């Protein structure tokens, strides 16, 4: 009996070693697949959350972005498209990095954050306030770096597609100046490091509590609603930040002098009206 149990443990270790070696053989893709399996093992609802984040969440983010712009963003569709491209990359990255993993493959943080929660700051466990704040700082640093990289890729991609459109259609003109790649990437880094970091970590903590107290259908409904509201808020906050940093500035239309568009008789009428008003005021004094 003991021999059978020992053989079972050896076979389990061998299978895990084989899976890890096969993952190493596939390189980055293998590591990603191992990480995905680990996250699904720790949270069976993880694929559903990712799907809702990419479909409902990104759509809500774009709606929030457009709602914060004049004319519902119809005059700034180039900026909205840039937000869509970068948002699709970042939303999945946030979900992946914040998701809990199985105990067998749990990630470890650097020495200074060794006693902090590994997934998010609201992770269950006997963690102190400073340890949870340490997770917020650590994840915020990672998210800022990811936001900067994704901002570079997404902005360059959107600007490249706009240039391609201009080559195909020489009459096509963008309503605004293309956002500077580096400045827009820095804006995304700030947004990811603070706003997205705080919102998504809080969202993960809320979903953990809701999953324990709600039925599966009610929980999935709450996931859709919360992630929709979270992304609307994220899209609106990014527009405000982009305006503050100047990465997505809109040129104000030049005001035309009123006198230029007035004919000589109309000017005389305005002058005569002004004289009459002054005489009436002097009469009533």
Give per-residue pLDDT as tens, 134-183.
999 999 999 999 889 888 888 887 788 778 878 888 887 776 777 788 99
Give the pLDDT score at 268: 52
pLDDT at 137: 93
SS (H, E, C) 199-243: HHHHHHHHHHHHHHHCCHHHHHHHHHHHHHHHHHHHHHHHHHHHH
Confidence (pLDDT) at 187: 93
Task: From 198, 195, 200, 197, select the one nearest 49 (Cα to Cα).
Answer: 200
Q: What is the DSSP letter of 195?
A: I
d(Cα 99, Cα 39) in Å, to the nearest integer? 6
Q: What is the pLDDT of residue 140?
A: 93
Count the alpha carbons within 13 Å of 268 in the hemisphere toward its beta carbon. Answer: 3
Cβ pair 92, 172 in contact under 8 A: no
Specify whether the CB–CB gap between 95 and 48 falls below 8 A.
Answer: no
pLDDT of residue 251: 59
pLDDT at 283: 42
Residue ranges of the chain whose pLDDT lies below 50: 1-24, 104-105, 254-264, 267, 270-271, 276-285
Distances (CA, A) of 97 to 32, 79, 93, 122: 11, 27, 6, 14
pTM: 0.66
Cα–Cα distance measured from residue 118 to residue 96, given in angstroms and rounded to the nearest whole number: 13
């Amino acid at each position: 009996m003991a021999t059978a149990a020992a053989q079972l443990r050896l076979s389990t270790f061998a299978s895990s070693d084989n899976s890890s070696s096969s993952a190493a053989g596939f390189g980055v893709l293998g590591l990603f697949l191992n990480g995905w399996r680990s996250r699904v093992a720790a949270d069976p609802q993880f694929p559903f959350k990712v799907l809702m984040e990419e479909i409902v969440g990104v759509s809500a983010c774009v709606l929030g972005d457009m709602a914060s712009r004049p004319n519902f963003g119809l005059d700034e569709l180039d900026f909205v498209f840039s937000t869509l491209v970068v948002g699709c990359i970042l939303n999945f990255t946030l979900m992946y990095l914040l998701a809990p993993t199985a105990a067998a493959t749990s990630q470890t943080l650097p020495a200074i954050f060794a006693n902090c929660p590994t997934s998010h700051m609201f992770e269950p466990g006997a963690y102190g306030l400073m340890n949870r704040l340490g997770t917020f700082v650590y994840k915020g640093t990672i998210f800022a770096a990811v936001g900067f990289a994704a901002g570079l890729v997404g902005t360059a991609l959107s600007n490249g597609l706009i240039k391609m459109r201009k080559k195909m259609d020489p009459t096509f003109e963008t309503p605004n100046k293309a956002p500077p790649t580096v400045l827009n990437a820095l804006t995304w880094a700030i947004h990811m490091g603070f706003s997205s970091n705080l919102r998504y970590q809080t969202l993960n903590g809320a979903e953990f509590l809701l999953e324990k107290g709600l039925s599966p259908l009610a929980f999935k409904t709450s996931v859709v609603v919360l992630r929709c509201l979270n992304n609307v808020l994220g899209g609106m906050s990014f527009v405000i930040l982009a305006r503050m940093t100047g990465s997505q500035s809109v040129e104000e239309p030049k005001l035309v002098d009123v006198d230029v568009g007035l004919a000589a008789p109309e000017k005389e009428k305005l002058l005569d009206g002004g004289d009459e008003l002054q005489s009436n005021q002097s009469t009533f004094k």
